Chain A
Amino acid sequence: MSENLLKVQPIRNGTVIDHIKPGRGRKILEVLGLSGSGTTISLLMNVPSKKRDRKDIIKVEDRELSENETEKLALLSPNARVNIIRNYAVAEKKKIEIPKVISGTVHCPNDNCISNNERGSSTHFKLLEHESLRIQCIYCGRKIDEDNIEFI
Chain B
Amino acid sequence: MKHVVSIEDLDNKRIMGILKRAKQLVPVAEGKKKSKALDGKILAACFFEPSTRTRLSFESAMQRLGGTCIGFADPSATSHLKGETLLDAIRMVAGYSDVIVLRHPHEGSAKLASEVSEVPVINGGDGAGQHPTQTLLDLFTIKEEIGKLEGLNVGMLGDLRYGRTVHSLSQALDRFKAKFYFISPKSLRMPTHVTDELQNDWSTHETLDEVLGKLDVLYVTRIQKERFPDIEDYKKVAGAYRINAEILQKAKSKMRILHPLPRVDEISTDVDETKHAAYFRQAFNGVPVRMALLEQLMGKKK
Q: Smallest CB-CB separation from A137: which chain B residue?
A: B108
* Closest partner residue, chain A, to B193 (CB atom): A143
Interface string of B238-266 (1 = CB under 8 A from A): 00000000000000000000000000000
Q: Which residues of A contact B127 (CB under 8 A)?
A: 112, 140
A-B contact pairs, 8 of them (CB 8 A): A110-B107, A113-B108, A114-B104, A114-B126, A117-B106, A118-B112, A120-B87, A137-B108
Residues B86 and A139 in contact, CB atoms below 8 Å apart = no
| B111 interface hit (Cβ, 8 Å) | yes
B128 touches A114 (CB 8 A): no
Interface residues of A (CB under 8 A from B): 110, 112-115, 117-121, 137-141, 143
Say whether A118 contacts B87, CB under 8 Å.
Answer: yes
| Complex alpha-carbon distance, A112 and B109, angstroms | 10
Most buried by A among B85, B87, B107: B107
CB distance from B164 to the nearest CB of A (A): 11
Partner of B86, one of A112, A114, A140: A114
Docked-complex contact A118 and B193, CB < 8 angstroms? no
The answer to whether B86 and A118 touch across the interface, beta carbons within 8 angstroms, is yes
- Shortest 4 CB-CB contacts between residues of A and residues of B: A139-B108, A140-B107, A114-B108, A140-B108
Q: How many residues of B contact A (CB 8 A)?
A: 16
Write the chain A residue with the least CB distance to B105: A112
Q: In the complex, what's the smallest C-beta–C-beta distance from A106 to chain B, in angstroms?
A: 14
A113/B87 in contact, CB under 8 A: no
Known interface pairs A113-B108, A139-B111; A118-B85 also in contact (CB < 8 Å): yes
A139 contacts B107, CB within 8 Å?
yes
Asked whether any CB of chain A lies closer than 8 Å to the CB of B288, the reply is no
Chain A neighbourhood of B132, CB < 8 A:
none
- Residue on B nearest A139 in the bound complex, by CB: B108
> Chain A residues near B124 (CB, 8 Å)?
none
Instruction: From known contacts A119-B85, A140-B129, A143-B193, infer whether A113 and B111 are also in contact, taking CB-CB under 8 Å.
Output: no
Q: Which residues of chain A have C-beta atoms less than 8 A from B106's C-beta? A: 112-114, 117-118
Query: Chain A: which residue is nearest B87 at the CB level?
Result: A118
A111 to B210, CA, bound (A): 38
Q: With a CB–CB cut-off of 8 A, which chain A residues contact B129? A: 140-141
Residue of A nearest to B127 (CB): A112
Cβ B193 vs Cβ A114 within 8 A: no
Query: Contact mask B121-142 → A, CB, 8 Å, 1/0?
Result: 0000011110000000000000
* Interfacial chain B residues near A143, Cβ < 8 Å: 193
Known: A114-B86, A120-B85, A143-B193. A138 touches B107 (CB 8 A): no
Give Cα distance in the complex from A115 to B129, angstroms.
Answer: 14
Which of A137, A138, A139: most chain B Cβ within 10 A? Answer: A139
